[in-house]
Chains A and B, each alone.
Chain A
Amino acid sequence: MEFMIKEKIKQVKKGDQAAFEDVVAFYQNKIYQHCYRMLGNVHEAEDIAQEAFVRAYVNIHSYDDKRKFSTWLYRIATNLTIDRIRKRKPDYYLDAEIKGADGLDMYSQLETDSPLPEEEVESLELKSYIHHEISELPPKYRTIIILRYLEDFSLKEISDILDIPLGTVKTRIHRGREALRKKLRHV
């Protein structure tokens, strides 16, 4: 498969647009899934995943054949998702008063620090609960946890995708694991 993709990329570099269709078809689920996990929203995920492929096509000449194409593609997608997260306008402000609720502001809607009661947790589907907890992680930990455990990249590959030193990847994955452990220990 890797070889097939390499051939297709060569054709795309020569200007053959149709060859890119196979590349998109091959990676669409992976990239869409990655964007969805990073953003937690199907509309944004589709938007950013499409954008990632378009960027890859436009900048195909800056892709180095000797490296893995998937690594390069994931880097584009990851950078776009992180940009999107940074640019997101907050949907609500904590100080805003809730309409129709006299004097109550958003602070009153925040969950308390105490662990959720068991019944409440059981009512949530475990998977979506875990997903929610992952999406609550700061992006720099979230990215690595997703790449490592959901997309099965090695730590070395993650360091290539994110263009950060292997040591940093390890530090972040330790912290990400600890953060998730603390959130999930009471489930």
Chain B
Amino acid sequence: MNCKKEAVELMHKYLDGDLTKAEEAGLIQHLETCEDCQKHFHELKRTITWIQSTGQITAPSNFTQNVMAKLPKEKKRVSYMRWFKAHPVLTAAAIFFIFMFSGVFSAYNHDSQLIVSKQDDLIIKGDTVVVPEGVTVAGDLVVKNGDLRIDGTVDGNVTLINGKLLDNSIEGEGLMASVGEVNGKIEQVDQVFEWMWYHLRNIFESIFSVDNK
């Protein structure tokens, strides 16, 4: 075997793991007889061991931050999306509130029609609902987006949404005296929050009334 060419070539193939069984046997046989090649082989292996023994080094401590600072700015949209993904509960809560408020507001703002609870004997003049004298309205009376004048009697609660309770006696015999008889509570709602509060209370009341029965 030619030391300079063949044997050294085989050594490198061995180091790269490319040696076939037959070639390996040939190399071993040659190394046993040739001292120069043995030395050469030993030096190669020692060199590799030495290369591999050089120490590990680590990047400077603020390396990552420095890289991040050098990057071009990302799009705004993406950072918002990431925030939403990172805070799912807050996002859900925010969406819930948006829907809830928009629902309440639209219900409050868009229903500007006059709505009166269905009872006989009520007189409607334009935007004003009148309980005529000598008439007794049975049950709760609800007037929405309109004023109410009570000359007669209401046998139940009165709720006014977005409207006023009109005083029919301008002469003023005292505030309450002018109002017809109401055998229940009078309630006026004309603020958004009161409107919401009224709704929420209604919900609770309906829940509890079921329990009571």
Contacts and interface: CB of A to CB of B under 8 A. Distances in A.
Contacts of B177: none
B43 A24 contact: no
B5 to A, nearest CB: 12
B117 interface: no
B159 to A, nearest CB: 53
B46 interface: yes
Interface of A: 14-18, 20-21, 24-25, 28-29, 31-33, 36, 46, 49-50, 53-54, 57-58, 126-127, 130-131, 134, 145, 149-150, 155, 170, 173-174, 177-178, 180-181, 184-185
B47 A180 contact: yes
A117 to B, nearest CB: 19
B82 A53 contact: no
Interface of B: 8-9, 12, 15-16, 18, 40, 43-44, 46-48, 50-60, 63-64, 66-68, 70-72, 74-75, 77-79, 82
Best-surrounded residue of B9, B40, B48 (most CB of chain A within 10 A): B48
A177 B82 contact: no
Given A29-B58, A174-B12, A181-B44, A54 B70 contact: yes
Given A131-B54, A149-B52, A16 B64 contact: no
Nearest to A174: B12
Contacts of A24: 63-64, 67-68
A32 B71 CA distance: 18
Nearest to B51: A149
B51 A134 contact: yes
Nearest to B40: A181
